[in-house]
Structure 1
Amino acid sequence: MPRSARRLALKSLVALSLLASAGAWAQGKTVKVLVGFAPGGGTDAIARTLAEHLKDELGATVIVENKPGAGGQLAAQALKAAPADGSTFFISHDHTISILPLVSRSPGFDPARDFVPVAGFASFVNAFAVSGGTPAKSLNDYTAWVKSHGNGQGVVGIPAPASTPEFLVKVLAERFKLDLVPAPYRGSAPMIGDMLGNQIAAGVGSVPDFIENHKSGRVRIVAVLGGKRQAILPDVPTLAELGIGGFEDLPYYGFFAPAGTPKPVIEDFSRALAKVIARPDVKERLTGMGLAVEFMNAQQLAARERAYSKSWAEIIRTSGFQPQ
C-alpha cells in the first residue's frame, strides 16, 4: 500500500476511534446536575426539563440535585468539591456566578479558578410582581397602595440576598420615596409561596419564576427588566419605559463544571445540550417559561460571564454596597 494511502487509512482509523469514544465517559453512568435553589422554582423546572432529554443524548442517567441556600452558594461550593470527571455539572444563572462573588467577602469559591464554563442556553429577564391579593394592576398602582398602607412601608420578597432583585428594591425605594424592605428567601419557590398566601404583597424574581402564576392570575407581573418588552408579556412595560434605567443587561443561564474537567467531556456535554435545546418541543417549553433560547459554547459563555460581571461591578460600586 502506498505511503499516502497508509497515512489516509491511519487518519480514518483515528477519526473513527475518536467518534466511537465521544460521550463514552457518560455511557451508563449517573450524571448529576446541581441546582442552587429549592424544588418548584424556575431554575429547578428548567433543570428538570433539560435533564429529561440530556439523558438520551448522553446515554446516561441524569439527575437533578437541589442544594438551596445563599443564592446558589451552597451548590457552587458543592461543585468545587466534586470530582472533575464529568459526573457533576452546575446549572446556574448570573447571580451565583457573576454577582455573588462581587457582594460576598467569602463566597467559598472563585468562578475563574474553580469552575470551567461548559455551555449557555438562554437569557431571561427579571420582573417585579405583585400578589393577586393586592388591588395593584401596575407598578404605579403598587407604589400608591404602599403609600396608603403602612406609611410607605412595604416588604418585597427577593430570592437571594445581595442580588439583582435586592438592588432593584433599593432603587425603587429611592425613586418612589418609600420604605421598601427586601426580604430574602432561599430561592423563588418559598417567596412565591408567601405571595400566593398574601404573606407578602410583592416580589422580584425571574420571569420563569412567575410566569405560570401570572398566567393564572394568582400573581401579576407589573414590570420587567431588560431593554424591551417580552413577547410572552406584551402588555407589561419595562422599567426603562417607567423611567427607571440601569437594568437593561440580560442575565444568562449556563452549565459549569469543576476546574480540570477534561475538554472532551466539556465538548460532549456542550454538543448534547445544543441538540436538546434545538428540539422544537424543548424550545417551546423553555420559551413558554419566559426564556430566550440561545446556545453559547464554552468560550461564548465565558465572555458573557466576564461582561456581565464587569457591568455589575460598576453598578455595585456606584450603589455604595459593601461586600458582606
Structure 2
Amino acid sequence: MSVIPLRIAVVLLAGLSSGALHAADYPQKNIDYIVPFAPGGAVDFTGRLIAEAAPEVFDGHGFVVKNMPGGGAVIGQTHVSRAPADGYTLLAMTSSVINNALTKPVSYDLDSFTPLALFNLDPGVIVTATDGELEDLQAFLDAASSDSVSIATPGDSTSHHVTALALAEEEGLNFRYVHNTSAALQLHQLMGGHVQAGFMSLGEAIGPVEDGSIRILALLDGARNDLAPEAPTYQEVTGHEFQWGTFRGIAAPAGLADDVKEELEARLGELLTSPDFVERMGEAGYRVDYRDGDAFSELLEGTAEQMLRVLPLLETAS
C-alpha cells in the first residue's frame, strides 16, 4: 500500500522539477509585445526597433508586436495585466498606465505589472504647423493669455494632455483641447492646420520637423538638445522653469517568477544597451536612457506622485 503514495510523490517531484527547468530554460518561444496604441506613434515605432533586435538576444525567438489600441491604452494594458505571468506577454509601458489607473474605471494599477526595463526618457516639446500663425513661443503664450489656443492631444488624460494642463495651470494659459485617438491623428491635426499647437515628445517630433511639417516652439527640458539644437528651452524664453517629458519602458504581468524576471531583465539590458540598438534609436531621434527594473519602478512611483498633484486639473478640465 505504501508503494503507490511513493510513486505519486516521485511524479509530483518530477513535475516540480520540470516546472523549474522550464523557467531556467526561458525563452522557448516567441514573445508577444503589446503596444497599447495604434501603429505610427513613438511607442509603436520604438517597439518595432526592439522587435528587430530581439532574436539575437532571445536565442532566435522574436518579439511579435501586437497593437491593441483603444480607451487611451486601456485595452492593451488590461490584456497584459490579465495575461499569464510566464514571460511571454510583455507591455510597452508608458505613463498612461498611471494616468488610466487614476482617472478611469480600470481593473489594474501599477501593482498589476512587473517593471523590467526603461529605455527612453523623451523631453516634451510644444509644436505648431510650419506655416501656422504662431511664429514663436512668445506668440503662443500671448495668444493663450489673451484668448485661447487650440491644442491637439493623442487622447484625453495622456501624458501630453497632462503636460498641457500643468503648463496652463502654472502660467495662467487658456487651452481648448482637441483629443484624438492616437499620436498619428494628433500629427495630422497639426499638419492640416485644424489646431494651433500641440504637445509631443521630442522623439515623435523630430521626423515631422525634419520634413518640414511642424516647428518646435519650445523644448520642455533643462537644456537645449542636440537632436533639435535650434529649439529654445521654455526657460530661455520665459525665465520660468518648466520641465516635462515622457518615458518608454517594458513590463510584464505581476507575479512573474523571480528566475524568469532575472533572465528577462538581463536579456533586455543586453538588447537595450547594444551599440546597434542605441545607434538605430539615435538615427530615429530617440536617445537611449537604460534603467533596470528596480530603477524603472522608482521612476514609476515618482511619476505617480506627480500625477496625483495634477489629478485635480484633469477632473476639472473640459
TM-score by length of 1: 0.81
> 5 Å matches for 1:21-100?
24-27=25-28, 29-58=29-58, 59-94=60-95, 96-100=96-100
2:182 is the counterpart of 1:187: yes
Paired residue total = 297
Cα contact 1:226–1:249 (8 A) shared by 2: yes
- Structure-2 separation of matches of 1:272 and 1:193: 37
- Structure-1 separation of matches of 2:289 and 2:127: 26
Secondary structure of 1:232's counterpart equals coil
Is 136-145 or 77-86 further displaced after alignment?
A: 136-145
How far residue 178 of structure 1 moved from its aligned partner, in angstroms, is: 5.7
How far residue 146 of structure 1 moved from its aligned partner, in angstroms, is: 7.2
How far residue 301 of structure 1 moved from its aligned partner, in angstroms, is: 0.8
Equivalent residue number for residue 141 of structure 1: 139
Structure 1 residue corresponding to 2:127, chosen from 101, 126, 129? 129
Secondary structure of 1:269's counterpart equals helix
Structure 2 residue corresponding to 1:209, chosen from 204, 207, 218? 204
| Identity over aligned pairs, percent | 23
Cα contact 2:37–2:69 (8 A) shared by 1: yes
> 5 Å matches for 1:1-324?
24-27=25-28, 29-58=29-58, 59-94=60-95, 96-102=96-102, 104-112=103-111, 114-143=112-141, 152-170=147-165, 173=168, 179-243=174-238, 247-248=242-243, 250-317=245-312, 319=313, 321=315
Cα contact 2:32–2:65 (8 A) shared by 1: yes
Equivalent residue number for residue 9 of structure 1: none
How far residue 211 of structure 1 moved from its aligned partner, in angstroms, is: 1.1
Task: Deviation per CA, 1:257-299: give whole Å up to 9, x if none.
Answer: 0111222222222222222222223212223444331221111
> Which amino acid counterpart does residue 254 of structure 1 have in structure 2?
G
Task: Deviation per CA, 1:87-129: give whole Å up to 9, x if none.
Answer: 11001222x2333323x142321111x1111111121111111
Cα contact 1:227–1:249 (8 A) shared by 2: no
Cα contact 2:123–2:201 (8 A) shared by 1: yes
How far residue 179 of structure 1 moved from its aligned partner, in angstroms, is: 4.2
Secondary structure of 1:125's counterpart equals strand
Cα contact 2:201–2:246 (8 A) shared by 1: no
- Structure-1 separation of matches of 2:302 and 2:41: 26
Cα contact 1:159–1:204 (8 A) shared by 2: no
Structure 1, unaligned runs of 5 or more: 1-19
How far residue 62 of structure 1 moved from its aligned partner, in angstroms, is: 1.3
Secondary structure of 1:37's counterpart equals coil
- Structure-2 separation of matches of 1:247 and 1:67: 33
- Structure-1 separation of matches of 2:114 and 2:317: 24
Secondary structure of 1:242's counterpart equals helix
Secondary structure of 2:199's counterpart equals strand
Cα contact 1:70–1:161 (8 A) shared by 2: no
Equivalent residue number for residue 8 of structure 1: none
How far residue 42 of structure 1 moved from its aligned partner, in angstroms, is: 0.9
> Which amino acid counterpart does residue 109 of structure 1 have in structure 2?
Y
- Structure-2 separation of matches of 1:322 and 1:117: 31
Structure 2, unaligned runs of 5 or more: 1-20
Task: Report the CA distance shift for 1:289/1:240 in structure 2 as closer, same or farther (over 3 A).
Answer: farther
Task: Report the CA distance shift for 1:218/1:323 in structure 2 as closer, same or farther (over 3 A).
Answer: closer
- Structure-2 separation of matches of 1:116 and 1:76: 12
> Which amino acid counterpart does residue 299 of structure 2 have in structure 1?
R
> Which amino acid counterpart does residue 72 of structure 1 have in structure 2?
A
- Structure-1 separation of matches of 2:105 and 2:177: 22
> Which amino acid counterpart does residue 78 of structure 1 have in structure 2?
H
- Structure-2 separation of matches of 1:311 and 1:33: 27
- Structure-1 separation of matches of 2:237 and 2:223: 12
Task: Report the CA distance shift for 1:30/1:185 in structure 2 as closer, same or farther (over 3 A).
Answer: same
- Structure-2 separation of matches of 1:323 and 1:146: 16
